[in-house]
Structure 1
Amino acid sequence: AASEYERGISLGVISKPFGLGGVRVGWIACRDSELLQRMLQIKLFLSVCNGRADELLAGIALHHREELLRVQRRRIAANLALIRDNLDRLRPRIRWYQPKAGCIAYPSLAGQISAMEFAGRLLNETGVNIVPGSCFLQAPSHFRLGFGRADFPQAFQLLLDWLE
């Protein structure tokens, strides 16, 4: 986006492509220097510096990127296949929208329940955590479903069982 539009913002993180949830290291690019300066001020307000452990883990991940990316791509493909194989069990309560890339989807709920209520009940009754789409400027019926984790098959099975 930053290369396409003068106020566009491009960003990347270590956590998603490398399967390293919790490692808070990434980058941001923006041609608007005033906007970039405002983002830097906010970042410095939230944290003066990156965590040293995060930086070390990010460096190790980048050094072994080919192997880590290969493992993560396989994991995502397997988890996506698991979702596709179980679409009939999700319907009619959940509408699935296949993401074009990555390991995050925003399916929607077909009924009257909001994603906020759905997420709360799912967490309380199964321990499975999803995030309502409203937290990501999505419609109230959508929720964030991440399928890049190694424990996704177990969590997804809990979701399927809970829906039935």
Structure 2
Amino acid sequence: MVKIEEFAVERWMDLYENDAKHNLAETCCASISLNELQVFSGQGTDLIDYSQKQVYGAIRGSTTLRSNIAHLYASETSEPLRAEDVLVTNGAIQANFLALYTNVGAGDHVICHYPTYQQLYSVPESLGAEVSLWRSSEENGWQLDVTELKSMIKLNTKLIILNNPQNPTGAVLHRETLQDIVDVARQHDLIIHCDEVYRPLFHSLDSRQPDNPPSILDFGYEKAISTGSMSKAFSLAGIRLGWIASRNSAMIEAFASVRHYTLISVGQLDDRVATQALASPTVNNLLERNYELARQNLDDLEAFVREFKGTVSWIRPQAGTTAFIKFSKEGHPVDDVALCEQLLEKYGVMFVPGSQCFGNGRDFKGYVRVGYVPERQAMIDGLDALRKFMRDGY
């Protein structure tokens, strides 16, 4: 029997998110309806063809959808991605699972960016791999030290796992760091698996950085893969659609082979909605809406952090939808699990406790993950309730 750790963050969400009055734990940009998507598209006709027979449809995803996904990786510094380089999946969570299941086995060694979404290290562990956590540095803006990476490599190292932009911190690995990682991987013939599910929501980059940090597929490395989905930056979690992308056709074929055991095809309705969402001008209008929402809400969250400076601290996120915030008392981190439980029970505000959901109960004491891209009013009301807690209950 395969043993796998309980998925702490998803367990927490499952327990509490449906009953929270102020859900500031959600990691998707505020969701949109199909009516709203139609407005973004500028089309007057229905997005769905109700006369279409609901057969399985294209097994790997329709060619138009895969072409639209490939276009998300367009870059002036690399060759265009092709539709054949994309495999459509049931969300990024399946994309990650398929890729890890295919590439990792007993006896392998995996190096995983940390903190990150638990799936990225618990799944390799469940498959019998040894996992080393490559810890990002809060003191250095949650960045990674490539010199440390070099020292972690073993004879049986097979895979480097990255999460860019990073969940839960919202930090971004920029071109120079990614190039160094690719150089190390190429030297040792390692696969790079990069979860880029929050790409391209780069809403708050340092003015000294490029406007659009590259995907891991931008470096011409033949053993790099990227995973993504419609859930986070594109506000369509309900269609449950994600993908694996790679310039390595052999890996795409291997993933497709494993995929047959878990998924014949995504639903045709999901495929159609995603195709429209990623078409121009819809995708541009949708992303502009989400950039603006992220910036406004993040400014409100920063105002809260400043207001309670001394007890609340953070590194302001550069991208994505999540922030990692530390709560302290008299210079010591609070019990983040108790804090989240009290907030939820008495004030209706939902956060995710960092130590339980990202630190294996050991790391990130006092930290909470905040999802800051709900609807504007939801953010405003949630922060008002949080301020009341800080004044009355903290």
Could you say which TM-score interval applies, normalised by the shorter chain? 0.7 to 0.9
Compute the displacement of 1:141 (Å): 2.0
Task: Give the aligned partner of residue 348 of structure 2.
Answer: 127
Does 2:381 align with 1:146?
A: no
Compute the displacement of 1:161 (Å): 1.9
Q: Which runs of 5+ in 2 are unaligned?
A: 1-161, 163-177, 195-226
Aligned-partner Cα distance in 1 for 2:343–2:274:
32
Does 2:335 align with 1:114?
A: yes
- Aligned-pair identity (%): 24
Compute the displacement of 1:18 (Å): 2.0
Aligned-partner Cα distance in 2 for 1:149–1:9:
29
Residues 1-164 of structure 1 aligned to structure 2 (within 5 Å): 4=182, 5=185, 6-10=190-194, 11-29=227-245, 33=251, 37=255, 44=262, 50=266, 54-63=270-279, 64-111=282-329, 112-133=333-354, 134-137=356-359, 139-150=364-375, 151-164=378-391
User: What is the TM-score when the length of structure 2 is the normalising length?
Assistant: 0.35
- What amino acid maps onto 2:347 in structure 1? T
Contact 1:116 1:132 in 2 (8 A): yes
Q: 1:24 to 1:118 in 2, by over 3 A?
A: farther
Q: 1:67 to 1:143 in 2, by over 3 A?
A: same
Aligned-partner Cα distance in 1 for 2:336–2:273:
34
Compute the displacement of 1:86 (Å): 2.7
Contact 1:16 1:148 in 2 (8 A): no
Q: Which has the higher helix share?
A: 1
Contact 2:302 2:316 in 1 (8 A): no
Aligned residues: 157
Q: 1:48 to 1:9 in 2, by over 3 A?
A: same
User: What is the TM-score when the length of structure 1 is the normalising length?
Assistant: 0.76
Q: Which runs of 5+ in 1 are unaligned?
A: none
Q: 1:66 to 1:108 in 2, by over 3 A?
A: same
Q: 1:52 to 1:92 in 2, by over 3 A?
A: farther
Contact 1:107 1:143 in 2 (8 A): yes
Tell which has more relative contact order, 1 or 2 (C-alpha 8 A, sep 6+).
Answer: 2
Aligned-partner Cα distance in 1 for 2:239–2:379:
19
Match of 2:243, SS state, is strand
Contact 2:230 2:274 in 1 (8 A): yes
Contact 2:304 2:383 in 1 (8 A): no
Aligned-partner Cα distance in 2 for 1:121–1:50:
40
